[in-house]
Amino acid sequence: MRDPSTPFRRIPSVDEVLKTAPALAAIDRFGRPSVVDAVRAALDDARHALGNGAAAPPPAEEVAAAATRRLEAESRLRARPVFNLTGTVLHTNLGRALLAEAAVDAATAAMREALALEFNLADGKRGERDDIVRDLLCALTGAEDATVVNNNAAAVLLALNTLAGGREAIVSRGELIEIGGAFRMPEIMARAGATLVEVGTTNRTHEKDYRGAIGPQTGLILKVHTSNYRIEGFTKEVPAKALAEIARGAGVPLVNDLGSGTLVDLTRYGLAHEPTVAEAVADGADLVTFSGDKLLGGPQAGFIVGRRELIARLNKNPMKRALRMDKIRLAALEATLRLYRDPDRLAERLPTIRLIARPRDEIAALAARLLPALAVAVGPGYQAAVTDCASQIGSGALPQQTIPSAGIAIHPARGRSGGALAALAAALRALPIPVIGRIEDQAVVLDLRCLEDEARFVANLAGLSLGKGV
Ligand SMILES: *Cc1c(COP(=O)(O)O)cnc(C)c1O
């Protein structure tokens, strides 16, 4: 038993705390069971504080306030919006493409209301969900037919399993990519039930290498866009067109995995040329696979476009059902693809293109406007300055190319410890809308290419709390 004269005896009881005004307000917001749990946790903290030498226990109101703060922190969504100031427009860890307003509206309607999803409004009969985007995809790519699945990894898996399950798939050694995580081409092949036949060498693959590998067991030839690296120097790859001729001559399908795949010529926006889906189709690939949430700027999706009889075989594979798209993303996808019917206005309507094409001078002017507010927010322990940045598209699109951009670099003031930089990055991440920059040359760099809501950014900074003496 504790000595009754100790402060432990004066810690309020759970019931006392629950009767206070702040606790009653919290019960209104969060419900009684959650508040009881939070009050118990806050009382545990108070007991620990006393054990560590605190002079007196907190009054009941203070315990209730602590419990409320705990509940507020817990009730914040894990999947919550952040400011992506990494300089990478399509950041896989931050959700890749931002959707166009038209796509957001379509997705919202699809969530709230019943949808003509697998229902043909013309004749009242059952329809196919892919019909929603099939004609659009064919029109935009020049392909005969199209199907949609969960993402491009699923598209590749479905194509391999359908055309090369129990058979061989021929790939150049220079194209055996790893995209990230567990997406490695040899492993996808194995899971698809296809036997990988590697041809050529890491840096050079010739037409004769492919010809020599084709045999009675060949299910398909796979060409993979080396989206996240480039092999340079003494290199040789067989262009898609020549590969299509070899495939056609041997009577085996050619599948071209474009990865990002764009529907417009990016040179329009001052970028290097990235092969378009229409070009890949015109070059003779029997199937072309690409992503929905990379350069295309839509929701997560995987497309397979190409020859009608092959698409029909993919659609009959039971795997297709397991990999299909949901109604919310299909609705967003249709609205996104429709924007491509008016390419001249794409840059104003599609955030991915708008952000990639955003002029450096506009971003630099934004940086100059924000600098004073940031300098005040970080306080005298840090120095903020406008800086040049090099943005990236990300998600494996044009890995070699950076886009000139501008931002703000924040350095710890002279004489501060090494922890000051990490403390700043952590404080920015702890804001109501977390700010995600990158650490570079002993500074936190905020590339402002993807910052569009200036007022919201400034208001958010008011919550910045940098502990003293780090
Ligand atoms: C990104 C990429 C994939 C995977 O696409 P997800 O849509 O992320 O599943 C596959 N192949 C290539 C070449 C890629 O660049």
Ligand 1: centre distance to CA 181 (Å): 11
Ligand 1: centre distance to CA 291 (Å): 6
Ligand 1: centre distance to CA 302 (Å): 8
In 3-state terms, what secondary structure has residue 353? helix
Ligand 1: centre distance to CA 317 (Å): 21
Angle between the N-to-C axes of helices 21-30 and 32-51, in degrees from 0 to 180, rounded to the nearest 10 = 130
Full DSSP string of 24-57? HHHHHHH-HHHHHHHHHHHHHHHHHHHHTT-SSP
Ligand 1 pocket, mutate which of 291, 296, 300 (most atoms under 8 A from CB): 291
The answer to whether the CB of 155 is under 6 A from ligand 1 is no
State how far the Cα of 294 lies from the Cα of 1, in Å rounded to an integer: 64
Residues 134 and 239 in one domain: yes
**Residue 388 domain-assigned?**
yes
State how far the Cα of 294 lies from the Cα of 287, in Å rounded to an integer: 19
Residue with CA at minimum distance from ligand 1 atom 12: 259
**Residue 2 domain-assigned?**
no
Please say whether the beta carbons of 434 and 86 come within 8 A: no
Residues 136 and 262 in one domain: yes
The answer to whether the CB of 150 is under 6 A from ligand 1 is no
Ligand 1 pocket, mutate which of 227, 230, 393, 395 (most atoms under 8 A from CB): 227
State how far the Cα of 15 lies from the Cα of 33, in Å rounded to an integer: 13
Q: What b/e readout covers 248-287, taking b as 16+ CB neighbours within 10 angstroms?
A: eebebbbbbbbbbbbbbebeeeebeebbbbbbbbebbbbb
Q: From the DSSP assignment, how many helices (H) and strands (E) are in the chain?
A: 19, 15
Ligand 1: centre distance to CA 173 (Å): 18
Residues 377 and 337 in one domain: no
CATH at 384 = 3.90.1150.110
- Say whether pTM exceeds 0.85: yes
Residues 294 and 420 in one domain: no
Residue with CA at minimum distance from ligand 1 atom 2: 259
Residues 106 and 148 in one domain: yes
Please say whether the beta carbons of 350 and 392 come within 8 A: no
**Lookup result for tokens 């199907």:** 147
Strand segments, DSSP code E, in 415-456 are 435-436, 438-440, 443-447
Ligand 1: centre distance to CA 108 (Å): 26
Nearest-atom number in ligand 1 for the CA of 396 is 15
**Residue 1 domain-assigned?**
no
The answer to whether the CB of 223 is under 6 A from ligand 1 is no
Ligand 1: centre distance to CA 398 (Å): 13
Residues 297 and 338 in one domain: yes
CATH at 124 = 3.40.640.10
Residues 323 and 179 in one domain: yes
State how far the Cα of 84 lies from the Cα of 341, in Å rounded to an integer: 29
Residues 415 and 268 in one domain: no
Cα distances (Å, whole numbers) of residue 190 to 72, 165, 173, 196, 221:
47, 9, 16, 8, 15
In 3-state terms, what secondary structure has residue 435? strand
Please say whether the beta carbons of 320 and 147 come within 8 A: yes
**Residue 129 domain-assigned?**
yes
State how far the Cα of 161 lies from the Cα of 166, in Å rounded to an integer: 8
For residue 102, how many other CB atoms are within 10 A of its CB?
A: 16
pLDDT value of position 159: 98
**Residue 470 domain-assigned?**
no
Find all residues with CB under 8 Å of 225, minimum gap 6, and list them: 256, 257, 258, 259, 260, 261, 275
The answer for 219, left when phi > 0, alpha when psi is -120 to 50, beta otherwise, is: alpha
Which domain range does residue 283 map to? Answer: 101-346
How many domains does the chain contain in total?
3
Nearest-atom number in ligand 1 for the CA of 155 is 9
Strands 145-149, 302-306: parallel, antiparallel or unpaired by DSSP?
A: antiparallel
Residue with CA at minimum distance from ligand 1 atom 11: 259
**Residue 24 domain-assigned?**
yes
**Residue 195 domain-assigned?**
yes
The answer to whether the CB of 260 is under 6 A from ligand 1 is yes
Residues 150 and 59 in one domain: no
Given 313, 346, 379, the domain boundary residue is 346
**Residue 429 domain-assigned?**
yes
pLDDT value of position 204: 85
Residue with CA at minimum distance from ligand 1 atom 14: 259
CA dihedral 331, 335, 341, 345 (to 10 degrees): -160
Ligand 1: centre distance to CA 396 (Å): 8
Nearest-atom number in ligand 1 for the CA of 292 is 7
The answer to whether the CB of 256 is under 6 A from ligand 1 is no
Residues 269 and 126 in one domain: yes
Residues 211 and 110 in one domain: yes
How do the pLDDT tens digits run along the chain, 470 residues long? 455 557 888 899 999 999 999 999 999 999 999 999 999 999 999 999 999 988 899 999 999 999 999 999 899 889 999 999 999 999 999 999 999 999 999 999 999 999 999 999 999 999 999 999 999 999 999 999 999 999 999 999 999 999 999 999 999 998 887 776 677 888 999 999 999 999 988 888 889 999 999 999 999 999 998 866 677 777 888 899 999 999 999 999 999 999 988 999 989 988 888 889 999 999 999 999 999 999 999 999 999 999 999 999 999 999 999 999 999 999 999 999 999 999 999 999 999 999 999 999 999 999 999 999 999 999 999 999 999 999 999 887 777 789 999 999 999 998 787 789 999 999 999 999 999 999 998 999 999 999 999 999 999 999 998 865 44
**Lookup result for tokens 């993402």:** 151
pLDDT value of position 201: 83
State how far the Cα of 199 lies from the Cα of 208, in Å rounded to an integer: 10
Nearest-atom number in ligand 1 for the CA of 300 is 7
The answer to whether the CB of 257 is under 6 A from ligand 1 is yes
**Lookup result for tokens 């567990």:** 182
pLDDT value of position 228: 66
Residues 186 and 321 in one domain: yes
